Structure 1
Amino acid sequence: MDKHKAFKTALHEKDGIDQPESVSRTAIEHVTQLRKKQPSADELVARILKGDKTALSRAITLVESTNPAHLEKANDVIAQCLPHADKSVRIGITGVPGVGKSTFIEAFGKHLTSLGRKVAVLAVDPSSSLSHGSILGDKTRMEELVKDANAYIRPSASGETLGGVARKTREAIILCEACGFDTIVIETVGVGQSETAVHSMVDFFLLLQIAGAGDELQGIKRGIMEMADLIVINKADGDNIKSARLAKTEFNRALHLFPAKSSGWQPTVTTCSAISHEGIAEVWQTINKYFELVKGNEFFGLRRSEQNSYWLTETINEQLLGRFYHDPAIAGLLEQSKKAVQDNAVSPFAAAKVLLEKYFRL
């Protein structure tokens, strides 16, 4: 008999205890059933008017949906919320990537909630032009503000919208106002494109900038400078304080070269540190001075009326485009026209004329 075969080693595995499942199947089924049960438009509105953030998130998701079946329900929710909206101040915040928008908004938002205000942040994240995906990481970056009971953060993908404003941001503002938020902050992508979209839906336009990044006046386009009601030089702390003060002086000189605003407001420049919260209170004080002025001279109401008119035409344009591209009769002809244009068999203008004529004959 082989001595090695007869020897029984102590290094052998014994039968253990089966590990329990990490997630309860009962809980999974319960959550699945809740998600399948979609509340009606009336139920959503009733909960939104009571300040229910979950219902607010559901309604915004419904509004942002590209599913045609959701359009009617979304419109119903918006229509019912509209009489309860228009009772907030809307602040747009933009700036080049790396300027510290998320950090500033968190510090700014915490300051406002400490004053008893209810703050909704509609943060627009850039979408990939290749995968069309978006990180939507603002809730992670604003980890303190997201836990605040008087704050709500909603990240949305920018999609293909110019200037980084989500297609349905306008409707999201209405829903947030109906939910009781009195201060709406819209954070844009800030990639140097036209910011006309966000400017057309806010009452106050704040431009964040940093010092020490080269020629300060080359750091931002004139068009955005002209739209800004306040320029804030962020990261004015540590060794950067001196350069921030210098940038403030240069921007102040530049602002005086621009035409006077129809609001009667003279834009100003200030510095702050979102990390240490230095200058955050002063930013809010400046914004309050602006609102005192424009509400006193009736520019505030006039501006809101102009915005409503602008968004009427934008909505018409959007729905016309949507119906055109989703029309079954156009879809096949569109692909044929693309192929013909690529092969230089027909000009893009002639192909477009044929497509539009067919669409309007339908």
Structure 2
Amino acid sequence: MAKYTTSKPSWVPDEPNEKFACSVMGGIEGIKDTTVGNINPNLLSGKTKPKRRLVLSEDDYVNGVLKGDRMTLSRAITLIESNNSKHFAKAQRVLQRLLPHTGKALRIGITGVPGAGKSTIIEAFGNMLCDAGHRVAVLSVDPTSSVTKGSILGDKTRMGTLSRRQEAFIRPSPAGGTLGGVARKSRETMLMCEAAGYDIILIETVGVGQSETTVRSMVDFFMLVVLTGAGDDLQGIKKGIMELADAIVINKADGDNLLKAKVARAEYERMIEYIRPATEGWPTHAYMCSAYTKYGIPELWKVIQAFKEMTTESGVFNKRRNRQLLEWMYSMIDEHLHSLFFDDPVITGRMPEVKDAVLNGIISPTQAVKELVNMFDVDMAARRQVDIFHPEAEVKS
């Protein structure tokens, strides 16, 4: 029987009170399908039956996603995001079967400093697109604490109306310390949403400045949301993120802030003159909008449509998509080789001794690397990997 524990937050009274129904569930050991999270002990004992199937087959995932079932899509993304090795093979086979149904959506990246209003813009923009007959998927990446390793995942709170629409799907994911604030499995998640029939994919990033190249490498149109008071021209040019943007959007252009927004737009237009366009043949410009009053939101969509039309005709759109696929492959090679190396039992056994030698000045870091690489048997490590396209090769729990 799996272990099951609960605890109450400090602000919950000890005596029973219907107004305080909050409790914290501990992790459960021994659960065969960890993709479904914590399980009620009554389900484990068989006293009650679950409202939904706890374990889905490959066919269940594939058919559910293709039908646009949001519950199945959510569980498929959870399977993709899982770091459990026994889920990797199954997730990749599901993704492989869905791959022919992907690639038809317009991918838009939205970044900016915290507080710029990215989530508010996305809600206004998403609602407008849904009203126009589009299906919108929002992949919002939430900061991960370097101390607790946890994330709040509260972006749906800022998108109250959009999250309730049947035409929209919002999926918050933890950044997990990944460069650029993009979850490691964001590309696979994006493909899942495309297979489910969403034709507009909005990716909201943490907004950490010059490390947003990861987002640029997976979207078609990249939007930088800024506020008024950008500083002088030189300070603006120093912001490397501007070199990646297809559009710079000054948000909160309403009320008393409208005049400041106009000044900021003029400043950004002057800065752009010194920066090479992010997309070949497409001139980057600054625009104003207000997510609160919806001012400028329809015009922004027209800009994006014009971008797609122009880049499609020139061939830049397809070239970028092809380049992104290759960059994705190269990054996965790096990640795979990294895992092979550090998961190798010979390396893990030797690593403590080598680290001590480096820290004590016995050998240099360069010598340590050479020694570890020389003892790494890549052929042996590769043979320990399973064939992801054959179910019988999947690691058994």
2:135 to 99, 118, 138: 118
Change in 2 beyond 3 A, CA 1:209/1:80: same
Larger displacement relative to structure 2 (273-282 or 172-181): 273-282
Equivalent in the alignment of 1:354: 371
Aligned residues: 343
Q: Is the 8 A contact 2:236 2:268 kept in 1?
A: no
In structure 1, how many angstroms separate the alpha carbons of the residues matched to 2:52 and 2:251?
42
In structure 1, how many angstroms separate the alpha carbons of the residues matched to 2:152 and 2:253?
28
Letter in 1 for 2:286: V
Equivalent in the alignment of 2:242: 225
In structure 1, how many angstroms separate the alpha carbons of the residues matched to 2:288 and 2:275?
21
Indicate whether 1:336 and 2:353 are aligned.
yes
* Cα deviation code 1:22-52 (max 9, x no counterpart): 8998789688746773101121011100001
In structure 2, how many angstroms separate the alpha carbons of the residues matched to 1:83 and 1:30?
42
1:150 to 154, 163, 167: 167
In structure 2, how many angstroms separate the alpha carbons of the residues matched to 1:217 and 1:209?
16
Q: Is the 8 A contact 2:277 2:284 kept in 1?
A: no
Q: Is the 8 A contact 1:99 1:208 kept in 2?
A: yes
Q: How does 1:57-206 map to 2 (within 5 A)?
A: 57-206=74-223
* Cα deviation code 1:292-328 (max 9, x no counterpart): 1011111111111111111111111111112222222
**Alpha-carbon offset, residue 222 of structure 1:** 3.6
Indicate whether 1:292 and 2:309 are aligned.
yes
**Alpha-carbon offset, residue 332 of structure 1:** 2.2
* Cα deviation code 1:263-290 (max 9, x no counterpart): 3110111111111111111111110110
In structure 1, how many angstroms separate the alpha carbons of the residues matched to 2:84 and 2:52?
17
* Cα deviation code 1:227-278 (max 9, x no counterpart): 1000000011111111110010010111122224553110111111111111
Letter in 1 for 2:317: F
**Alpha-carbon offset, residue 336 of structure 1:** 2.5
In structure 1, how many angstroms separate the alpha carbons of the residues matched to 2:62 and 2:238?
41
Equivalent in the alignment of 1:208: 225
Larger displacement relative to structure 2 (180-189 or 258-267): 258-267
Change in 2 beyond 3 A, CA 1:213/1:196: closer
Change in 2 beyond 3 A, CA 1:263/1:119: same
Larger displacement relative to structure 2 (124-133 or 279-288): 124-133
Q: Is the 8 A contact 1:92 1:185 kept in 2?
A: yes
Change in 2 beyond 3 A, CA 1:30/1:329: farther
Equivalent in the alignment of 1:301: 318
In structure 1, how many angstroms separate the alpha carbons of the residues matched to 2:47 and 2:168?
28
In structure 2, how many angstroms separate the alpha carbons of the residues matched to 1:147 and 1:220?
40
Q: Is the 8 A contact 2:230 2:264 kept in 1?
A: no
Q: Is the 8 A contact 1:211 1:244 kept in 2?
A: yes
Q: Is the 8 A contact 1:158 1:164 kept in 2?
A: yes
In structure 2, how many angstroms separate the alpha carbons of the residues matched to 1:115 and 1:310?
33
In structure 2, how many angstroms separate the alpha carbons of the residues matched to 1:25 and 1:132?
27
- Structure 2 unmatched runs, 5+: 1-17, 23-39, 381-397
Match of 1:345, SS? coil
Change in 2 beyond 3 A, CA 1:31/1:334: farther
Change in 2 beyond 3 A, CA 1:288/1:179: same
Equivalent in the alignment of 2:264: 247
Identity %: 49
Match of 2:183, SS? coil
Change in 2 beyond 3 A, CA 1:27/1:42: closer
Letter in 1 for 2:297: I
In structure 1, how many angstroms separate the alpha carbons of the residues matched to 2:206 and 2:321?
23
**Alpha-carbon offset, residue 357 of structure 1:** 1.6
**Alpha-carbon offset, residue 196 of structure 1:** 1.0
Letter in 1 for 2:104: K
Larger fraction in helix: 1
* Cα deviation code 1:128-173 (max 9, x no counterpart): 1222111111111211111011111111111121110110101111
Kindly report the root-mean-square deviation, in angstroms, between the aligned alpha carbons of the 2 structures. 2.4
Equivalent in the alignment of 2:395: none
Equivalent in the alignment of 1:9: none
Q: TM-score, normalized by length of structure 2?
A: 0.81
Letter in 2 for 1:112: L
Match of 2:137, SS? strand
Equivalent in the alignment of 2:299: 282
Match of 2:222, SS? strand
In structure 2, how many angstroms separate the alpha carbons of the residues matched to 1:308 and 1:111?
30
Change in 2 beyond 3 A, CA 1:269/1:339: same
- Structure 1 unmatched runs, 5+: 1-18
Match of 1:144, SS? helix
Q: Is the 8 A contact 1:217 1:250 kept in 2?
A: no
**Alpha-carbon offset, residue 343 of structure 1:** 2.5
